[in-house]
Amino acid sequence: MNPDNIEIVLVHTTHSGNIGGVARAMKNMGLSRLTLVAPLEYPAPEATWRAASALDVLEAARVVDTLDEAIAHCQFVVGTSARDRRIPWPLQDARGCAERIASQSVRERVAILFGREDRGLLNEELQRCNLHCHIPTHEAYPSLNLAMAVQIVTYELRMMALADKVGLPEDADWDTPFSSSEDMARFYEHLEATLVEIGFLNPEAPRQLMPRLNRLFNRVRLDEMELNILRGILTEAQKAARRHPD
Amino acid sequence: MNPDNIEIVLVHTTHSGNIGGVARAMKNMGLSRLTLVAPLEYPAPEATWRAASALDVLEAARVVDTLDEAIAHCQFVVGTSARDRRIPWPLQDARGCAERIASQSVRERVAILFGREDRGLLNEELQRCNLHCHIPTHEAYPSLNLAMAVQIVTYELRMMALADKVGLPEDADWDTPFSSSEDMARFYEHLEATLVEIGFLNPEAPRQLMPRLNRLFNRVRLDEMELNILRGILTEAQKAARRHPD
């Protein structure tokens, strides 16, 4: 496991106190890379106060406007989620996720996304993920405080770091680097545009087509060469569609 | 595991917000029995606010003046501790403790003690415990927020409850109930008084004698019959000492 390759990403946090709590939770467990996507109020005295002796983590936090910016350079993205999804996504509990994250972080940049206090991550944000993480709370009161959720996931990572028993992932010795989240986002745009152009996808009635394709390619993870090949195919399909418009 | 037999005991909590955070952390993980030993400020609006939808746990909390009162009826007591002790005590990490607690809770009352925000549990409080619990934080910033510590331990208990793979403890089918903490406290008083009377313990220079005896009997756990036998022996020794004063 490489802690420097693991980033905690807070998406649209409402209560600034939670941001401080997260910084402390991270440092307690040996992590330091924090990214804030459009926090409602930041910097804020409440964040500073709750961070206690983790002020260095807070001060080094990256603040960005969009999730795209936050995860552009990451090759493995995990989203924490309480809700059941319409389309099932690769899903593991916090312990299983920690093992995957520890393992991927040896060679790649990993982002772990935590959503809004009231609504969590939106569907379109969850679809950016390779893996969903579930913390098995009790059904009588399933909604965890944001900083608590971060504490549990980072604690599991710390247990992994200490156990030092994490094997490399099965694709650790790949011949080509895996695509970044930014490249994948461009690919999905290209894919969707192409499917519309060739008449396969009706933008007025998209159904669940794009989410399902999203899930497919996020699950398998494309390496850079595979991505280039697919994009070449899309470009050719577009050319064909333009040569023979309906 | 029986959640109704597991009690979270907060000893001399300073920040009332943490009490609310603990109530929520507990309910999130399916626990509901909370005891507060002489909290600095309680009830308090900050506690209510942080408890969110765990107000029922907060309102049902027992408030007592002393640790003795809090754990009098418990047969198994676990103390969370960050520091190294002068005398090593039976110690496990949060995962190992959760397994022990889950297992003991099937038949017995278990208390888990969490100390002050600034200093944790005092030595004399830790000596009341059968087992010490260590949360393996990072050395750069080992000091966990109180509610976070409760969250981690209760999360591990929740994982145990879900795994449902916890065997009964090796002494589950004992023929006699194990002694309560209150009875053990009386026993230690009796033991200490006797050791002084027979001239084995010098109250002016007690060294580490009582802590070591404490550790011994807490580790083995005395059943009620064994306790009666030992107390009978102490009484006889006292009588002898009184018959033949030096």
* A to B CB pairs, distance under 8 Å: 78
Q: A135 CB near a chain B CB, below 8 Å?
A: yes
Q: A80 CB near a chain B CB, below 8 Å?
A: no
Interval A144-192: pLDDT, tens:
999 999 999 999 999 999 986 666 676 767 778 889 999 999 999 999 9
Find the CB nearest A28 among B28, B30, B137: B137
A134 min Cα distance to partner chain B (Å): 12
Stretch B198-218: mean pLDDT, rounded?
Answer: 87
Question: What is the torsion angle, in degrees rounded to the nearest 10, for the CA atoms of residue A145, residue A150, residue A152 and residue A157?
Answer: 180
Domain boundaries along the sequence of chain A:
3-163, 181-243
A159 min Cα distance to partner chain B (Å): 8
Local confidence band at A21 (pLDDT 50, 70, 90 cut-offs): very high
Give the CATH architecture of domain A181-243. Orthogonal Bundle (1.10)
Tell me, letter by letter, the H, E, C secondary structure of chain A.
Answer: CCHHHEEEEEECCCCHHHHHHHHHHHHHCCCCEEEEECCCCCCCHHHHHHHHHHHHHHHCCEEECCHHHHHCCCCEEEEECCCCCCCCCCEEEHHHHHHHHHHHCCCCCEEEEECECCCECCHHHHCCCCEEEECCCCCCCCCCCHHHHHHHHHHHHHHHHHHCCCCCCCCCCCCCCECCHHHHHHHHHHHHHHHHHCCCCCCCCCCCHHHHHHHHHHHHCCEHHHHHHHHHHHHHHHHHHHHCCC
d(CA B122, CA B49): 29
Specify the length of chain B in residues: 246
Stretch A33-44: mean pLDDT, rounded?
Answer: 97
B98 min Cα distance to partner chain A (Å): 14
In angstroms, the Cα distances linking B131 to A207, B108, B127, B144, B207 are 56, 15, 9, 20, 22
Contact across the interface for A29 and B53, Cβ inside 8 Å: no
**Burial of B237 (C-beta count, 10 Å sphere; 0-12/13-18/19+):** middle
CA-nearest residue of chain A to B159? A136
d(CA A122, CA A116): 9
Local confidence band at B26 (pLDDT 50, 70, 90 cut-offs): very high
CA-nearest residue of chain B to A141? B28
Contact across the interface for A138 and B21, Cβ inside 8 Å: no
Stretch A51-79: mean pLDDT, rounded?
Answer: 96
Q: A53 CB near a chain B CB, below 8 Å?
A: yes
Interval B180-195: pLDDT, tens:
999 999 999 999 999 9
Stretch A3-10: mean pLDDT, rounded?
Answer: 97
Give this complex's ipTM: 0.80
pTM of the model: 0.84
d(CA B72, CA B46): 29
Residue B199 has what pLDDT? 87
| Contact indicator for B138, A27 with CB cutoff of 8 Å | yes
Q: Which residue type, as a one-letter code, is found at position B27?
A: K
Q: Which residue type, as a one-letter code, is found at position B177?
A: P
Lowest-confidence segment of A15-19, A79-83, A226-230 by average pLDDT: A79-83
| Contact indicator for B73, B181 with CB cutoff of 8 Å | yes
Local confidence band at A83 (pLDDT 50, 70, 90 cut-offs): low
Residue B108 has what pLDDT? 92
Find the CB nearest B53 among A21, A141, A158: A141
- pLDDT tops 90 at residue A5: yes
Residue B86 has what pLDDT? 66
d(CA A184, CA A219): 12
Q: B24 CB near a chain A CB, below 8 Å?
A: yes
Q: Tokens 């022996």 sit at which residue?
A: B233
Q: Report domain A3-163's class.
A: alpha beta
Local confidence band at B84 (pLDDT 50, 70, 90 cut-offs): low
Interval A207-224: pLDDT, tens:
888 888 888 888 878 889
d(CA A205, CA B202): 88
d(CA B22, CA B25): 5
Quote the mean pLDDT of chain A.
Answer: 91
Interval B93-133: pLDDT, tens:
999 999 999 999 998 999 999 999 999 999 999 989 999 99
